[in-house]
């Protein structure tokens, strides 16, 4: 039994699934798509794409922030919520399933929190949905006010202000507005909101031991919602001092994150992070309102106090301020049947209806047209060619190395990220090993790479999942273009596919060398591989030498200031203590594959 490292559930990996099942059994207005455990989508039970004549509003992200986002599904707010694993962005397939399940002729709006994995996964899902004929728009919410503006390509994190944006968008959609108008209102709301958090403890990931990063008598200021370190650690202070500091940070004229000046009307949200009693949240609200009125000269029109976007069992709270006008207030006051929205005569409890309970789960919708490969083309060959055997040992060695590194990757990531890098990579590696036994056409290198991407896409959420999916898709496209109808791939063609993969990851993820990402391991490896092959070095030796460059590149990330991903928010002092987990994972599997290939070639 293990939940939050302690009790209640049998398997920590099932915690999201079991939460969703309990949610839809509790609130009769909700259903979920029957695609567990890969597809985790909560949706309104009263919406059918065949008859729905309003804009669908979809949000989501990693789980662990409940009630966000599934608790805000209901008429007048979200039409569907896409749930990833704990602190990991949901995969593209889940997002697509949600879009297909609730989007009618009016189209849908995706409200996305500003994290790399969410932007990539929701962005690629939106593009795929558009290619299937759906009308899709996207609004990115980055309301974090804790950090100075220049943060590489990453930008401001999406925090509890996203909930207010969801409410504005959902009310606009319920009023019958067009997709363009709903999008415009949501975008405007996202530009008028700011949030900053304060933590008194570190959260506990299910099945893991709580980090002791935050010592006694300390608090973190400006933290995110994934357990990553805050912008600063300080001694505990009285609540009025903390509230005053946070409000000054959000309303600072130096950063100018929110367009709020004296005399404006505002909405205030005091949000619990998971383990903060309602009494303490109310105390914080009681300090914040007069401070806004007297110190900042603002009129506080609405106050929302409770747990809206949490971080598992973290003790602490965040404060959100949104500039208000009559239009914003009208959307926030509009009736909703979302179970966790706190205000409205027709609101919080109106989805607890008497009568028959609808089916809890419904089938996962398929795309309008679906091309599929024959069973013969996606099966393990009875007889492996020499190239197939080499590919098999390389894949097996790479996957096993990732599995062995799970705890180390999680430990590194707990210091510079959200602590799940190893667990996420582990899921992908185990899926690859399982699928290779059944369906990888190992004699066809290009198709095997494509199937590796499919395995990863099925089970790996978060940034790592989408990055490796892009990596494999780009390699597959390059290999198919180079090899045409051939199944044997030359060393030069592998090198070109490797370069194409790196270019695609850089294009969609925005990172380049020196940004402290997995590219800092892969780019040096690709450079050395090409250089050694052009010099006429034996391919297996060139591969091995390039793997040494990958490892050196990964180790060098200790000296880099992060400019992409959640490490962007971590101080340079902490970053210098550990290498980038994603870079170390990439170097490890690449090195293991190179060693296995060298051994296999020498034995042949």
Catalytic sites, residue numbers: 226
Task: Decide: 567 and 416 in contact? Cβ < 8 Å.
Answer: yes
Residues 383, 388, 390, 393: is their CA dihedral positive or negative?
Answer: negative
Interior angle at CA 365, CA 354 and CA 27, nearest 5: 20
Check: CB of residue 455 under 8 Å from CB of residue 431. yes
Pick left, alpha or beta for residue 8 (phi over 0 → left; psi -120 to 50 → alpha; otherwise beta). left
Instruction: Dig out the tokens for 1 from the structure.
Output: 């039994």
Note whether 52 and 69 are within 8 A (CB): no
Question: What is the DSSP pairing of strand 80-86 with strand 218-221?
Answer: unpaired
**Assigned token pair, 266:** 């505002």
Cβ–Cβ under 8 Å, residues 371 and 378: no
Distances (CA, A) of 172 to 53, 56, 57, 190, 522: 13, 10, 10, 14, 45
DSSP string, 45-87: TT--TTT--S-EEEEEEEESSTTTTGGGBSTTSBSEEEEEEET
Rg (alpha carbons) of the chain, rounded to whole number: 25
Cα–Cα distance for residue pair 209/212, rounded to 1 Å: 9
Query: 227: left (phi > 0), else alpha (psi -120 to 50), else beta?
Result: left
| Cβ-based neighbour number of residue 261 at 10 Å | 12
The contacts of residue 478 (CB under 8 Å, 6+ apart) are 493, 496, 497, 500, 501
What Å distances lie between residue 252 and 147, 192, 212, 236, CA to CA?
12, 14, 32, 22
């Amino acid at each position: 039994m293990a939940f939050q490292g302690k009790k209640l559930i049998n398997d920590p990996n099932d915690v999201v699934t079991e939460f969703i099942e309990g949610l839809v059994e509790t609130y009769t207005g909700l259903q979920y798509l029957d695609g567990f455990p890969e597809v985790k989508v909560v949706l309104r039970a009263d919406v059918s794409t065949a008859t729905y004549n309003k804009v669908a509003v979809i949000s989501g992200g990693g789980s662990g922030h409940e009630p966000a986002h599934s608790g805000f599904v209901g008429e007048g707010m979200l039409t569907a919520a896409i749930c990833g694993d704990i602190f990991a962005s949901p995969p593209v397939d889940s997002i697509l399933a949600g879009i297909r399940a609730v989007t009618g002729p009016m189209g849908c709006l995706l409200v996305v929190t500003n994290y790399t994995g969410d932007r990539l996964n929701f962005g690629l899902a939106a593009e795929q949905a558009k290619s299937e004929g759906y009308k899709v728009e996207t609004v990115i919410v980055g309301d974090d006010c804790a950090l100075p503006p220049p943060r590489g390509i990453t930008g401001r994190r999406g925090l509890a202000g996203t909930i207010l944006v969801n409410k504005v968008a959902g009310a606009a959609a319920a009023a019958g507005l067009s997709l363009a108008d709903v999008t415009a209102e949501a975008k405007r709301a996202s530009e008028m909101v700011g949030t900053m958090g304060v933590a008194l403890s570190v959260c506990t990931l299910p099945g893991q031991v709580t980090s002791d990063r935050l010592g006694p008598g300390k608090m973190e200021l400006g933290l995110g919602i994934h357990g990553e370190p805050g912008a600063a650690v300080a001694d505990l202070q009285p609540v009025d001092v903390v509230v005053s500091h946070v409000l000054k940070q959000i309303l600072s004229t130096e950063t100018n994150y929110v367009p709020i000046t004296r005399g404006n009307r505002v909405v205030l949200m005091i949000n619990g992070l998971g383990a903060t009693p309602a009494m303490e949240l109310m105390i914080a609200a009681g300090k914040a309102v007069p401070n806004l009125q007297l110190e900042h000269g603002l009129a506080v029109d609405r106050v929302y106090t409770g747990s809206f976007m949490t971080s598992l069992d973290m003790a602490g709270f965040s404060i959100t301020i949104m500039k208000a006008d009559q239009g914003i207030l009208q959307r926030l006051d509009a009736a909703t049947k979302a179970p966790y929205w706190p205000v409205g005569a027709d609101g919080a409890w109106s989805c607890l209806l008497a009568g028959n309970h609808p089916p809890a789960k419904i089938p996962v919708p398929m795309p309008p047209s679906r091309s599929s490969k024959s069973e013969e083309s996606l099966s393990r060959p009875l007889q492996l060619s020499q190239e197939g055997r080499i590919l098999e040992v390389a894949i097996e060695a790479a996957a096993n190395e990732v599995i062995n590194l799970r705890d180390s990757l999680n430990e590194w990531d707990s210091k510079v990220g959200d602590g799940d890098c190893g667990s996420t990579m582990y899921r992908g590696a185990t899926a690859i090993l399982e699928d290779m036994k059944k369906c990888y056409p190992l004699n066809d290198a290009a198709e095997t790479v494509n199937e590796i991407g499919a395995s990863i896409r099925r089970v790996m959420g978060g940034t790592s999942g989408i990055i490796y999916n892009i990596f494999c898709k780009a390699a597959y496209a390059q290999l198919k273009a180079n090899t045409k109808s051939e199944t044997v791939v030359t060393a030069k063609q592998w090198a070109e596919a490797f370069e194409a993969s790196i270019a695609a990851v850089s294009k969609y993820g925005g990172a380049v060398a020196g940004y402290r990402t997995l590219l800092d391991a892969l780019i040096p490896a690709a450079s050395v591989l090409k250089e050694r092959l052009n010099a006429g070095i034996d391919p297996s030796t060139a591969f091995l030498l390039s793997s040494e460059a990958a490892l050196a590149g990964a180790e060098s990330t200790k000296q880099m200031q992060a400019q992409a991903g959640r490490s962007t928010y971590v101080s340079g002092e902490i970053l210098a203590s550990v290498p980038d987990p994603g870079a170390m994972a990439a170097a490890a599997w690449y090195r293991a594959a190179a060693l296995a290939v060298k051994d296999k070639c020498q034995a042949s």
